[in-house]
Amino acid sequence: MATDIHQIARELAMSEEQVAREALRALVRAKIHAYDAERRARCAKFGVASLQEMDALIRVGAIAEDEILDDFQNVDYLTTRVARLQQLLPQLGQMK
């Protein structure tokens, strides 16, 4: 049996708008956390903490580009996703 936002809002003594806003903020925060955890894990495989440090490993020849490329591209993607979602959080606090 599905529970709708109206029931949840009534149970929590909140407006439906407040419930929706808090749910969206929680979802975005959870995604940020998940993406950042994956990004950190991929960086840790190479003993670095950022995309820039991964790039430095390639530039100095400490690791071959083909050995790091998949992780490098993933870290780039995850870094971008985290940054974009972090930009959305303040907007979610201002929803009307």
Looking at residue 1, what is its pLDDT? 46
50 by DSSP, 3-state: which?
A: coil
Token pair, residue 75, equals 């870290």
Alpha helices in 45-93 (DSSP H): 51-59, 65-93
Token pair, residue 88, equals 């959305």
pTM: 0.84
Question: Dihedral angle at the C-alpha atoms of 34, 35, 41, 43, nearest 10 degrees?
Answer: -160
Q: Which residue has the higher pLDDT, 92 or 39?
A: 39
Looking at residue 94, what is its pLDDT? 64
Q: Helix 16-44 and helix 5-12: axis angle, to 10°?
A: 100
> Does pLDDT of 31 surpass 90?
yes
The string of pLDDT tens digits covering residues 39-91 is: 999 999 999 999 999 999 999 999 999 999 999 999 999 999 999 999 998 98
